[in-house]
Amino acid sequence: MDEKSYIIITGASSDMGAALSKQLLSAHNLILLDINENSILNTVSMLKSIDTQSKILYFSIDFNDISAVGKTFQDFLKKHDISNISGLVHIAGIAPVLPLKSTEIDDWYKIFNINLLSAVEIIRVLMKKQYKQSMKSVVLISSVAAHFGVKAQIMYSVSKAAIEAFVRGAAVELAPIRVNAIAPGRVKTNSMAVFIDDTAEKFESKHLLGSGSAENIADILYFLLSEKSSWITGQTYIIDGGVSVNALMNEK
Ligand SMILES: NC(=O)c1ccc[n+]([C@@H]2O[C@H](COP(=O)([O-])OP(=O)(O)OC[C@H]3O[C@@H](n4cnc5c(N)ncnc54)[C@H](O)[C@@H]3O)[C@@H](O)[C@H]2O)c1
């Protein structure tokens, strides 16, 4: 019998998803979800070149098609006869640059679907009796943008703030399953959150420890999935190289 539990990673083909998958690989089986099938396949072949023992399952899914997410996910688990799932990390996210006056209601629905509601739908499946018993930890990704205003990123900030409220409520309802979030500052990834002008460089320069790497984020996600964080739930950890405590952050 395969003793390794499964960890589900959404946004698995992102740099953070790939870095976390690498760290988890020897101890866990993985289920990787992303919209971009080619990128997932690249991540899977990278992982298989490191470890041939762990199971790596994957499927492409568009989280904006929110009414189908729960059923598609549950059908996948049934098809592969999976029940031993111990963790979920929701990395998938979008960060459109759009001033409030230019936003349409569908833009708001889309960002909420991808950044939060897809995770809600997956968690609702994982709360079913056959999956719930093995579940230990859920981690979502917020952003420091949830904590202050960023020009033309109001939808992003609001969707990430909702994640932080969600982890508090879900921690209360789902205990002893632990539910936490991290709120990164600027992380150097392939497709970092974009800004409307030269704000990116200015923002980056305010990080006391410089901008972060996907590995910095994967380390904290790994910790929050592990038993080392067994007394932590309902929290959002700001992991931002010190930008949010920098009193000079707003200086020109
Ligand atoms: N990079 C940063 O500076 C930074 C800072 C704070 C928070 N974050 C958060 O970290 C996460 C990863 O960010 P990143 O910078 O690596 O960006 P990224 O664009 O590389 O990663 C996002 C992932 O989500 C997937 N995705 C997008 N739309 C999807 C959809 N409709 N359905 C399913 N999957 C979809 C993408 O394919 C991608 O793999 C995001 O949640 C982001 O908001 C990033």
21: Cβ below 6 Å to ligand 1? no
Contacts of 151 (CB under 8 A, 6+ apart): 99, 195, 196, 197, 199
- Which residue, judged by its Cα, is nearest atom 8 of ligand 1? 143
Residue 201 has pLDDT above 70, yes or no: yes
Q: Please name the residue whose Cα sits nearest to atom 42 of ligand 1.
A: 93
For strand 137-141 and strand 29-34, is the pairing parallel, antiparallel, or unpaired? unpaired
Ligand 1 pocket check for 93: Cβ under 6 Å: yes
Average confidence score pLDDT of the chain: 94
Q: Catalytic residue among 6, 58, 156, 222, which?
A: 156
pLDDT tens for each residue of 215-252: 999 999 999 999 999 999 999 999 999 999 987 777 76
Q: What is the pLDDT of residue 195?
A: 60
pLDDT computed for residue 249 by the predictor: 73
Q: Confidence class of residue 210 from pLDDT cuts 50, 70 and 90?
A: very high
β-partners of residue 6 are 29, 85
Task: Please determine, for residue 1, whether its predicted confidence score (pLDDT) is greater than 70.
Answer: no
Contact indicator for 7, 87 with CB cutoff of 8 Å: yes
**All structural domains of the chain with their residue ranges:** 6-240
pLDDT in tens, 151-176: 899 999 999 999 999 999 999 999 99
Q: Specify the CATH number for 6-240; select among 3.40.50.300, 3.40.50.720, 3.90.280.10, 3.20.20.70.
A: 3.40.50.720
Global confidence as pTM: 0.96
Q: CB of 143 closer than 6 A to ligand 1?
A: yes
Q: Which atom of ligand 1 is nearest to the CA of 12?
A: 39
